[in-house]
Amino acid sequence: MTENVEIIKGASLWRDAWKRLLRNKLAVFGIIVLAFMVIAVTIGPAIIAWATGYTYDLIPADRELVRSMPPSLKHLMGTDDAGRDIFARVLQGGRISLTVGIISTFVSLIVGVSYGAIAGYLGGKIDNLMMRIVDMIYAIPYILIVIVLLNAFSGKNTTTLVSWLPQIIVSLAILIVGILISVLLFRALFDKFVATNFGVFLLKTLFIVFSISVLAALVFLASSLVGNTNAGVWLAEQYSTNVDPGLSQIFLLFFALGLVSWLTMARVVRGQILSLKNQEFVMAAKATGVSTPSIIFRHLIPNALGPVIVYATLTVPSVMLTEAFLSYLGLGVQAPFASWGSLAADGVKNIAIFPWQLLFPGLTMALTLFSLNFLGDGLRDALDPQTRKF
Amino acid sequence: MLSFIIRRLLIIIPMALLVVTLTWGLIRLAPGNFYSGEKKLPPAVEANIRKKYGLDLPWYQQYGMMMSNIVRGDFGDSLKYQGQSVNEIIRRHLPFSATIGILGYLLALAIGLTAGTIAALKQNSSFDYASMSLAMLGLSVPNFVLGPILVLIFGFWLYWFPPARWGGMSSLVLPVCTLAAIYAAYIARLTRAGMLEVMRSDYIRTARAKGLDEKTVLLRHAVRGGLIPVISFTGPALAALLAGTVVVEKVFAIPGLGNIFIQSVLNRDEPLTLGIVAFLSIMIMVFNLIVDISYGFLDPRIRYE
Amino acid sequence: MSEQNGTILSVNDLKTYFMTEDGVVKAVDGISFELKKGETLGIVGESGSGKSVTNLSVMRLIPEPPGKIAGGSVVFDGIDVLALPIDEVRRIRGRRIAMIFQDPMTSLNPFLKISKQLMEVTQLHLGHSKQQAREHAIKMLKTVGISDAEDRIDSYPHEFSGGMRQRVMIAMALSCDPELLIADEPTTALDVTIQAQILELIKDLKTRMGTSVILITHDLGVVAGMTDRIIVMYAGKVFEQASTRELFWAPANPYTKGLLKSVPDPAHEQGKELYQIPGLPPDVAHLPPGCPFAERCDRAADICRSEFPPFVEIDQGHHSLCHFAKDVYRESKTEAAEKAAN
């Protein structure tokens, strides 16, 4: 009798959380604004270009006349120093900002989740070692890493960078395939081998397979970093084409930013896996038929995923802020591409005389980050079993 | 407790050296070097430069020499700023960053703790919503946007504070406020969450059941538990403070260490970069130790062996 | 309405509601009982029956959002507690009415020494100086059986075992010699052997200091040896109230009978399956019309499902909330007689 109640509760954990999320007015506000932003930056530039002919990089012939004009009916957000329409640039910048935010978060998710899961599952000395490594990397000021990477690879070393791309894609592919295989095997075999020593052994083997695939991916990456290896040179020769430095910069940003935020993600995941481990074995021991492994998956995994989702949602604005910071330093997105951060950075110069050049991109960015933060908060409240409404 | 402190102190130097090594590795791995500008130098000139700075020696020799100097506290001379030793440069620029950094964080603590506590006590009141939304805003506006806006409003329009200058108390206000903003936001939110959790706990109920008034319940019983999240936050926050000061220094034209650091990385000024990194990591580890010690004082359940 | 006949606490039609996302939860919905001076009253019920909420309401410790004391009266020694301004209530708390809670680990402040936690009570209510408070605290600790009190008084809660912590809580509660002690499941979180010790301690102190006691528990075994009278709560209502002896001997309510049946009796039931009241406690936010126990009751009739049962007086001081109270009582008496005969 009680068992049925448990099963019902487990299956609708997500639905409960979703309901709770929707009840949170601020979170709903966040979702709406975000949806609006995503739509705006996706189709906006096309609409503007069709309606008015302005694009983000269109420098009009009569630039001297139209530069740095205040907001008007013709230019809803005014123009910048070079006569470009700011509204169009803000929309285009949004594309870049949001893409950078999302993809970088994705990168940090992949690296962080794999690393944290392995550390948490294997436990003991390996876990200790892995966490020490995280601490050490954490000790290095992250800006240093990012700046060195960006500075070293921007523009001048395009060839080296471009040789990265296939490496990275291959590495990611290995990683994703490895994760998928491990998870599928895990699920398939868990039912059969739970609570037996062989089962535990098999699980450990699976995770080692998984970690090897991760390592292989990392080796690929490392080899391209050094660049002098035969693999790197060969791939560079295969793929050296002229890539627009601005675009390669953006790709570089994805990874640089992702690589600095994975540390905390790894810690979060590891913590979750550690507690999940305890519950899992307790349940296996108590598996006198009360719970089946599928309930384990429906109870435990949602609980483990919860903080990961929340943290990922909160990483996006953090990454976007970092990108803005880098743009301010001149290391972020390069001309002619623009991100909200770079637009704001450009606008800072003229704040006293042409404040709109800073205000519009700055406020748009602030609004988006605002919404993301509210959404993250809402998710945290929704997924946390103890409602903190009162 | 004492042995714990000593062990932590002892490990700081080796850790710092390790971080320096990692940083050095990172700098060396990345292509390019300090003397390569836009133009490519004629090979003879380049060979000379490399000889002068010992760059023609094998890397492990360079590393060895450098480390033996560093262990004695000698980081050498800056490559970019000819004739100035790294230690000198750090000493000169540190006070600026330190001042705004410390003042900024203290201000953030003052605002954040107060606002967070009041918001927790008057949950769901208009103060709560207002202050938490304001905090959210603080998290969402990049500080290089906030700084100029503050300058615009208070420097140019209202003319209360000077826009950029170093001298006197009034010129500190805007930079410190800009820096404090984001931290105040985090601290307010953390305090509120921590306080809410504490106020709902059983021992607070016991305190009330004993007849204590709300003020005593709050100040004597609740604060300790409520402060813990803020203390946890302080560790990483101080580490990130560096990034914060960089922007503020740039916006307000303050000759601080943050800016110097960024420039040194961009210039591939290896000795200066390593010197600042070493200094920073020591600072961070010392602060983390202080944070951990505070934990020990606040929470008697934690006893360091 | 001053009480000359020795009634120290009189609760009348108390209603405490909670506003939640799922609707209004009527945790306590019209409870009435009386406690005489020196008496020990047991409040028995499953979790969610409202027993803890009742007692928190007496001390006005209900968090105001989301809770609210929606009606009724609580009269303590002639004082209408619900009408008092809150600072007057605070003067009663800890001084005249004291409460001990279920989990001593979380009920004591982990960050403060127990000396501090003990001393602040007498410093506040009795105006003790630090020295006086400390001596008094040591004395109280010795009274509750912590013999090396002088050494241990400066420790922190986590340095004590569960049983010791509960003793500290008792010492804290009795510091000002209160007239009423409310013990909310004081032994639930403890080992069985320690349970017995703590209950003995409470009994002993109560006799020595003349305190009236309300003992809340879900465990019938606990109330059997400790209480003079018992009220049985279910879904926020009093289902039966009687003297302890009467309740155990001849209950007049199917729920009470169910509870009693659930207590394993090793002498008579070897080899038989353990009895369990079928079903689950009701969702107090959405109660059906009629008797809240109807769907679990083995003698439920149609009237039980449609009409709310009356509060029937079986005898002096014995009441039961049931349509068939008198029948159930008669049956119980018959069963008891049969058992006695065997």
Residue pLDDT, tens place only, B108-167: 999 999 999 988 888 878 888 888 888 888 888 888 888 888 887 877 777 766 666 566
Predicted confidence band of residue B285 (pLDDT cuts 50, 70, 90)? confident
Give the minimum alpha-carbon distance from A175 to chain B in angstroms, rounded to a whole number. Answer: 24
Give the B:C interface size as CB pairs under 8 Å. 74
| Numbered residues of chain C with Cβ closer than 8 Å to any chain A Cβ | 20-21, 63, 65-66, 280
Distance of CA C314 to the CA centre of its chain: 23
Contact at CB, C109 and B208, closer than 8 angstroms: no
Question: Which residue reads 């971080």 in tokens?
Answer: B19
Angle CA(A23)–CA(A27)–CA(A28) in degrees, nearest 5?
Answer: 70
Cα–Cα distance measured from residue B39 to residue A92, given in angstroms and rounded to the nearest whole number: 34
Measured between CB atoms, which of B139, B148, B250 is closest to A351? Answer: B148
Measured between CB atoms, which of C21, C63, C280 is closest to A389? Answer: C21
- Return the pLDDT at A159: 47
Residues from chain B contacting residue C111 (CB–CB below 8 Å): 221, 224-225, 298-300
CB C230 within 8 A of CB C222: no
Q: In the predicted model, what is the mean pLDDT of residues A365-390?
A: 76
- Return the pLDDT at A2: 41
- Return the pLDDT at C120: 92
Looking at chain C, which residue has its C-alpha nearest residue A5? C280
Q: In the predicted model, what is the mean pLDDT of residues B19-45?
A: 72
Residues from chain A contacting residue B266 (CB–CB below 8 Å): 147, 151
- Return the pLDDT at A9: 45
Chains in touch with C (3+ beta-carbon pairs under 8 Å) read: A, B
Predicted confidence band of residue A130 (pLDDT cuts 50, 70, 90)? confident
Q: Concatenated DSSP letters for C280-314?
A: ----TTSPPSS-TTGGG-TT--HHHHHSPPPEEEE
- Return the pLDDT at A285: 55
- Return the pLDDT at C213: 93
Residues of chain C whose pLDDT is less than 70? 1-5, 265-271
Measured between CB atoms, which of C108, C125, C156 is closest to B211? Answer: C125
Chains in touch with A (3+ beta-carbon pairs under 8 Å) read: B, C
C247-294 pLDDT, tens digit each: 888 888 888 888 888 777 666 666 677 777 777 777 777 788 888 888
- Return the pLDDT at A158: 46
CB B81 within 8 A of CB B89: yes
A189-217 pLDDT, tens digit each: 665 555 556 656 666 666 677 777 777 77
Chains in touch with B (3+ beta-carbon pairs under 8 Å) read: A, C
Looking at chain B, which residue has its C-alpha nearest residue C58? B209
Cα–Cα distance measured from residue C108 to residue B62, given in angstroms and rounded to the nearest whole number: 60
Question: Which residue reads 């070692």 in tokens?
Answer: A129
Q: In the predicted model, what is the mean pLDDT of residues B232-260?
A: 81
Measured between CB atoms, which of C94, C95, C111 is closest to B298? Answer: C111
Looking at chain C, which residue has its C-alpha nearest residue A1? C279
Cα–Cα distance measured from residue C199 to residue C181, given in angstroms and rounded to the nearest whole number: 13
Give the minimum alpha-carbon distance from A329 to chain B in angstroms, rounded to a whole number. Answer: 8
Give the minimum alpha-carbon distance from B202 to chain C in angstroms, rounded to a whole number. Answer: 5
Do strands C79-80 and C67-76 pair parallel, antiparallel, or not at all (unpaired)?
antiparallel
Please check the confidence at residue A333 and state whether its pLDDT lies above 60. yes
Which H/E stretch holds residue C238? strand C237-243
A228-284 pLDDT, tens digit each: 455 555 555 544 444 555 666 677 777 778 877 888 888 888 877 777 666 665 556
- Return the pLDDT at A224: 55
ipTM greater than 0.90, yes or no? no
Contact at CB, A325 and B243, closer than 8 angstroms: yes
Token pair, residue A240, equals: 């050296």
Please check the confidence at residue A10 and state whether its pLDDT lies above 50. no
Residues from chain B contacting residue A143 (CB–CB below 8 Å): 242-243, 246, 262, 265
DSSP-derived 3-state class of residue B75: coil
- Return the pLDDT at C138: 92
Name residue C243's beta-bridge partners: C229
DSSP B1: -
Give the minimum alpha-carbon distance from A8 to chain C in angstroms, rounded to a whole number. Answer: 15
| Numbered residues of chain B with Cβ closer than 8 Å to any chain C Cβ | 123-124, 200-203, 205-213, 216, 220-221, 224-225, 298-301
Predicted confidence band of residue A290 (pLDDT cuts 50, 70, 90)? very low
Kindly report whether the peptide bond that precedes residue C66 is cis, defined as omega within 30 degrees of 0.
yes
CB A153 within 8 A of CB A160: yes
Residues from chain A contacting residue C21 (CB–CB below 8 Å): 23, 387, 389
Give the minimum alpha-carbon distance from A291 to chain B in angstroms, rounded to a whole number. Answer: 32
Give the minimum alpha-carbon distance from C67 to chain A in angstroms, rounded to a whole number. Answer: 10
DSSP-derived 3-state class of residue C180: strand
Contact at CB, B202 and C106, closer than 8 angstroms: yes
